[in-house]
């Protein structure tokens, strides 16, 4: 991504000579990448050729994922990063530069999907959800953007929202508010970072099969509204991130891309 001046979606980048959707030679940082969706994103970025800094609050899990990537032949390293801490955000971006040689792509994935009925929700629960999901995304993106700007990198930032950021859902007052906030934050970052050549986009996954999921299919509450009534896989979210992080995506910024089996676009399904 760095130093490519005239991106063209139909031909390989003029300076790099690589296919527009490849990420060879680029360095990506992913938060919350020790498990679940973040792990899938790390694998997809590595598959596309990027070197990946796998970060997580749980360093042991980040190490395991970095080892998985290295076993597939990718350049990868791990680093401890609690996204709620601004100093750790700076340190993680510096680590990407020190350990892997730069920072071209940042993916703010870490988050909690915790739910609670609205009438029982305590201020501390609400605050903690916003702190992890929304403040954490803000801190990750701000530190990454500052690093990219300081290094003259025309980078890419991808945030992770949810179908719950686009409409309400039972038990999701805090979660939906945090994920809607991420969509709005992405739009504003797209405006303010465009002058630096940094594109900022968002992926909004629907129900994704992570290590925590034991059910075969999402509940009927989801599937009755899905054109593709199944769980998505973390790697499917990851491949959408790869598109938004690559030169194949050159005239799109501030966008939220649903990876949700059609959950957010369906209306009348029968009759």
Ligand X SMILES: NC(=O)c1ccc[n+]([C@@H]2O[C@H](COP(=O)([O-])OP(=O)(O)OC[C@H]3O[C@@H](n4cnc5c(N)ncnc54)[C@H](O)[C@@H]3O)[C@@H](O)[C@H]2O)c1
| Minimum CB distance to ligand X smaller for 147 or for 264 | 264
| Minimum CB distance to ligand X smaller for 154 or for 230 | 230
Binding site for ligand X (CB under 6 A): 31-32, 34-38, 56-58, 61, 81-84, 109-111, 113, 132, 160, 162, 205, 207-208, 210, 212
Question: Do residues 210 and 34 lie in contact, with contact meaning Cβ atoms separated by under 8 Å?
Answer: no
The CB-of-4 to ligand X minimum distance in angstroms stands at 29
d(Cα 21, Cα 234) in Å, to the nearest integer? 19
3-state secondary structure 176-207: HHHHHHHHHHHHHHHHHHHHHCCEEEEEEECC
The CB-of-111 to ligand X minimum distance in angstroms stands at 3
In which residue are the tokens 């403040």 written? 135
196 part of the active site: no
Cβ contacts of residue 12 below 8 Å, gap of 6+? 18, 19, 20
The CB-of-177 to ligand X minimum distance in angstroms stands at 12
Give residue number: closest CB to ligand X: 36
d(Cα 16, Cα 6) in Å, to the nearest integer? 11
| Minimum CB distance to ligand X smaller for 113 or for 187 | 113
Q: Which one of 81, 175, 222, 231 is the catalytic residue?
A: 175
| Minimum CB distance to ligand X smaller for 19 or for 116 | 116
The CB-of-204 to ligand X minimum distance in angstroms stands at 7
- Spatial CA neighbour of 32 closest among 147, 124, 113, 151: 113
Q: How far is CA 128 from each of CA 13, 19, 97, 111, 238, rounded to the nearest angstrom?
A: 43, 42, 30, 11, 26
| Catalytic positions, written as ranges | 175
């Amino acid at each position: 991504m760095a130093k490519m001046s005239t991106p063209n979606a139909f031909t390989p980048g003029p300076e790099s000579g690589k296919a527009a959707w490849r990420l060879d030679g680029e360095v990506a940082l992913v938060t919350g990448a020790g498990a679940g969706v973040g792990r899938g994103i790390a694998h997809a970025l590595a598959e596309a050729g990027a070197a990946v800094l796998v970060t997580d609050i749980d360093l042991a899990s980040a190490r395991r994922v970095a080892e998985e990537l290295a076993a597939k032949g990718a350049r990868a390293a791990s680093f401890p990063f609690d996204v709620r801490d601004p100093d750790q955000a700076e340190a993680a971006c510096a680590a990407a530069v020190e350990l892997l040689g730069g920072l071209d792509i940042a993916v703010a994935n870490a988050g909690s999907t915790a739910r609670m009925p609205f009438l029982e929700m305590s201020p501390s629960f609400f605050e903690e959800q916003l702190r992890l999901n929304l403040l954490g995304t803000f801190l990750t993106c701000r530190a990454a953007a500052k690093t990219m700007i300081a290094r003259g990198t025309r980078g890419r930032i991808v945030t992770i929202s949810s179908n719950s950021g686009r409409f309400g859902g039972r038990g999701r007052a805090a979660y939906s508010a945090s994920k809607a906030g991420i969509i709005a934050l992405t739009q504003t970052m797209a405006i303010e970072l465009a002058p630096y050549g940094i594109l900022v986009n968002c992926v909004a996954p629907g129900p994704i099969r992570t290590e925590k999921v034991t059910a075969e299919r999402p509940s009927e509450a989801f599937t009755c509204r899905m054109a593709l009534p199944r769980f998505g896989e973390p790697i499917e979210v990851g491949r959408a991130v790869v598109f938004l992080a690559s030169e194949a995506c050159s005239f799109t910024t501030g966008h939220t891309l649903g990876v949700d089996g059609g959950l957010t676009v369906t209306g009348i399904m029968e009759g």
